[in-house]
Each structure stands twice: as structure tokens, then as C-alpha cells.
Amino acid sequence: MDMYPRLCNPLKSKSFILIGSRGTGKSTFLKAIFSENDTLWIDFLTAKDEDRFSSNPDTLFDIVTLAKNPYEWVIIDEVQKVPKILDVIHRILESKIVNTKFALTGSSARKLKKGAANLLAGRAISHFLFPFTVDELGSDFNLEKALNFGLLPTVWTTSSNEEIKEYLRSYTDLYIKEEIWLEQLIKNLVPFRKFLEVSSQMNGEIINFSKIARQIDCDVKTVQNYFQILEDTNITFTLEAYHTSIRKRLISSPKFYFFDIGIKRALERSLNLEITPNNFTYGKHFEHFLIIQMFFCNHYKKLDYQFFYLKTKDGAEIDLIIDRPGEPLAIIEIKSTSKIEKNDFQTLIEFKRSLPNAEAFCLSQDTYERVDSEINIMPWQKGLKFLKLI
């Protein structure tokens, strides 16, 4: 299949680790940027390679250092499945016997954190690969499809909606089986399955560990561990609360978002419920879509932005605050409507008074760009471009 150009751009002057959830196209991406010549490919998703190197990781040292024609690159897929191999890679790089470089992929940060500590200390750079962005899809991008089925590559190379749904359902089963159970991240799958469904229904909300613990009948520490597993396997990311002396009555628990709308909908078993502008969940999905797009592009463009939300105990809330190095704080309200009225950004006006040096944006599907009460009302595409996030 034809491959969409990706925004991820690792430098080929140094070894690197490409981190991303299953299905984001890591292997396809590496095959597109590396030739078969002078390259050794090892795939730990195959039983043959996993068994060979699990039983004797030092085999890699001999293969690389004793090769008649030294490899320029060694590509290893899903390196977290044989974490001890990282020590061998470290030894090869330190020995300088050969000038071979390594490109590694991994989906679970939990297993990589310990093993890759030395490797990442200046010897290999980490990069992330996410589902597609609007830029990557170009003219093929379709908002309705993105809100219904997400942006994983297979979704955009599959034409049948029924096949897409089956893929997303099987993805969640594979995630539980291979990322959670076989990697022995938890011992009891029953409460974790319940947790996945409950947490998917709470996407974009402030995390209430106690409430979720009651719903799935387990303790708070277990729920906290479950959330950490989701983050470590790159299935979710958190949005911390913004702290400022201007607003002291802050709710400090983080929000969380699933990395893909389609996976979130598969977990909550809502794939058969069509998301349309008249649907009451449309606005939530649109907000989810924009926030993860900004999160992805911040990583790709290396902007070093930090993302927050702000909600006070009296209920006043801002969807997104972006701390941009060297630029004013950006406070953002996201609306899915195609016609913005004054009451749509009234809360934004109030926060702008408290944060006079910030730039305020209302991003929506309204095509009429304007400034009203110091609020920049922009079509969402123009807003992302202005913020350098597209």
C-alpha cells in the first residue's frame, strides 16, 4: 500500500528508538527510510527471532561484530519484548568495534525505562510515532471519518466501515492479550477489562480514582496502576491542571485522553453509534481530536510546548492552556459549532481578564475569522497553523 509521508524525522547520523503504540506504522515507516542494503532486520514479534535472542541475547554481539561485511544499520522491532538485548546493544556501541547504528521500535515504555536508561544517555535518541495527523493525510483527511474511527494508518487504508470496526475491535483484544497479559503487566484481567471500558467513557474528564475504583470493585492503588499502564503503553496521555496564583481554587487532578478516538470508541463499545454534528457527543469528540492533534504535532515539531487545562471549583473551565517558550501563554476554547456566538467564548473573556498577557483563541468550524473582545476566533485549521501546530 502507498504510504503517507510522516512528520517524524529521526536523524540518521545516530542510533534511535522509535516509540509508539501498536498500529501506528513504526515498521512501515522504517522500511520506507531504510534500504535493504547493509541493513539487518530483526522482528521480535516473530517467534523465531524472539526465541533466538531471548535464550541468548549475546548472539547479537557476535552477529554484528563478526559480520564479514559490517552492517550500517540494525533494525529491531518491538525491542521491549527482549529487554536484555538493550545491554548487548549498549556494549556494541561502547566497544566501537564496528560503526553499526541501531534503529529500535518499542510500544511499551514500562519495559524500556530500565533497560534503555544507559542506551538513551546520549547514545540513542528517542522519537515518537503517533496515529496520522491532518498534515500527513493532506487532501485525504476527512473530519467525519476521523471523529468516528480515529486516525490509525490501517483505518485510512481500509475502505469498508465494517472492516474498520472489526480492525478496531481486534486491536483492543490484541492490546489486552499481547501488551498486557503476555507481558505480565497485571495478574488479573477481569477488573482491567472493566477498567478499560469505564476509563474510555471518561475520556477527556478529570480523573477520579476513587469513583472508578468503586465502579470496577477494586482499590484506588490498583486503578492508579492501571492508568500508569495505559500511559506506559502509549494508549493514553495526561493533561495536568494549570497552577497560577491568579486562580487559587484549582482542581488539581489531571485529565486524560486516549491516543486515538477509534480505539477509545472500540473500548467503550460505541463504534455502531455514528458521530454526526447533531449527536450530543460530537463536541466531545471534536475537542478530543484537536487536543491529540496538537499533542502529536508538538512532539514532531519539537516545539517544547506544555499543555494544561484549567478548571476552578466554581466550575469555570478552559479546554486547553499552552505554555509556549518565548511566547505568550495561549488559552484555548474548542467548539465544534460552525457558527460562533458571544456566549460560546464568554468564559474565555473572563479568563483573559485574569491573564491579560495571554493570547486567547476560540477554535471551531466557523469559517469567519475575527477578533472579538480580545478573543481570536479562528477556523480550527487556521488556529493550529497560527500556533505552529500544523
Helices 209-216 and 189-201: angle between axes, nearest 10 degrees: 130
| Same domain for 106 and 20 | yes
Residue 51 lies in a domain: yes
**Mean pLDDT, range 363-387, rounded to an integer:** 96
Per DSSP, the residues of 164-233 read HHHHHHHHHHHIIIIIIITTTS-S-HHHHHHHHHHHHHTTTSB--HHHHHHHHTS-HHHHHHHHHHHHHT
| Same domain for 267 and 163 | yes
What pLDDT is stored for residue 229 in this prediction?
87
Helix (H) / strand (E) containing 241: strand 236-241
Which CATH number belongs to the domain containing residue 296 in this structure? 3.40.1350.10
Task: Assign 182 a pLDDT band (cuts: 50, 70, 90).
Answer: low
Q: Give the SS3 label for residue 309.
A: strand
How far apart (Å, rounded) are the C-alpha atoms in residues 5 and 23? 16
| Same domain for 142 and 124 | no
Residue 258 lies in a domain: no
Mean pLDDT of the chain: 89
Task: Assign 114 a pLDDT band (cuts: 50, 70, 90).
Answer: low
Residue 252 lies in a domain: no
Q: Which domain holds residue 25?
A: 15-128
Q: Domain end: 108, 128, 148, which one?
A: 128
| Same domain for 103 and 148 | no
**Mean pLDDT, range 312-340, rounded to an integer:** 91
Which residue has better confidence, 182 or 15? 15
Amino acid at 387: L
| Same domain for 273 and 150 | yes
How far apart (Å, rounded) are the C-alpha atoms in residues 131 and 236? 12
What pLDDT is stored for residue 212 in this prediction?
94
What pLDDT is stored for residue 312 in this prediction?
74
| Same domain for 144 and 269 | yes
Which CATH number belongs to the domain containing residue 67 in this structure? 3.40.50.300
Residue 256 lies in a domain: no
Q: Which residues of 220-248 are buried (b: 16+ CB within 10 A; e: fewer)?
A: eebbebbbebbbbbbbbbebebbeeeebe
| Same domain for 345 and 272 | no
Residue 253 lies in a domain: no
What pLDDT is stored for residue 253 in this prediction?
83
Task: Assign 104 a pLDDT band (cuts: 50, 70, 90).
Answer: very high
**Mean pLDDT, range 46-65, rounded to an integer:** 94
**Mean pLDDT, range 198-209, rounded to an integer:** 93
**Mean pLDDT, range 365-385, rounded to an integer:** 96
**Least confident among 10-24, 244-258, 300-314:** 244-258
What pLDDT is stored for residue 29 in this prediction?
94
What pLDDT is stored for residue 120 in this prediction?
55
What pLDDT is stored for residue 244 in this prediction?
59
Q: Domain end: 128, 151, 174, which one?
A: 128
Residue 8 lies in a domain: no
- Given a cut of 50, is residue 71 above it in pLDDT? yes
The pTM assigned to this predicted structure is 0.91
- Asked if 362 and 344 count as a contact pair (C-beta separation under 8 A), the reply is yes
CA angle centred on 388, ends 383 and 390, rounded to 5°: 75
What pLDDT is stored for residue 184 in this prediction?
62
| Same domain for 268 and 189 | yes
Residues 6 or more apart in contact with residue 378 via CB below 8 angstroms: 361, 362, 363, 364, 369, 386
What pLDDT is stored for residue 40 in this prediction?
94
| Same domain for 90 and 36 | yes
Residues 6 or more apart in contact with residue 162 via CB below 8 angstroms: none
What pLDDT is stored for residue 322 in this prediction?
96
| Same domain for 270 and 324 | no
What pLDDT is stored for residue 311 in this prediction?
82
Q: What is the pLDDT of residues 244-278, one digit of tens each?
A: 544 443 557 889 999 999 999 999 999 999 999 97
Domain count within the chain: 3
- Asked if 4 and 132 count as a contact pair (C-beta separation under 8 A), the reply is yes
CA angle centred on 226, ends 154 and 77, rounded to 5°: 40
| Same domain for 175 and 59 | no
| Same domain for 213 and 146 | yes
Residues 6 or more apart in contact with residue 193 via CB below 8 angstroms: 176
Q: Look at the alpha carbons of 287, 288, 289, 293 in this order and tell me if their dihedral is positive or negative.
A: positive
What pLDDT is stored for residue 38 in this prediction?
80
How far apart (Å, rounded) are the C-alpha atoms in residues 317 and 247? 11
Nearest to 239 by CA among 324, 308, 296, 298: 308
> 73-77 and 236-241 as β-strands: parallel, antiparallel, unpaired?
unpaired
Q: Domain end: 104, 128, 152, which one?
A: 128
Residue 357 lies in a domain: yes
- Given a cut of 80, is residue 160 above it in pLDDT? yes
Q: What is the pLDDT of residues 212-241, one digit of tens each?
A: 999 999 999 999 999 988 888 889 999 998
Task: Assign 188 a pLDDT band (cuts: 50, 70, 90).
Answer: confident
Residue 346 lies in a domain: yes
Task: Assign 36 a pLDDT band (cuts: 50, 70, 90).
Answer: confident
- Given a cut of 70, is residue 178 above it in pLDDT? yes
What pLDDT is stored for residue 118 in this prediction?
55
For 161, half-sphere exposure in the C-beta direction (CA atoms, 13 angstrom radius) is 10
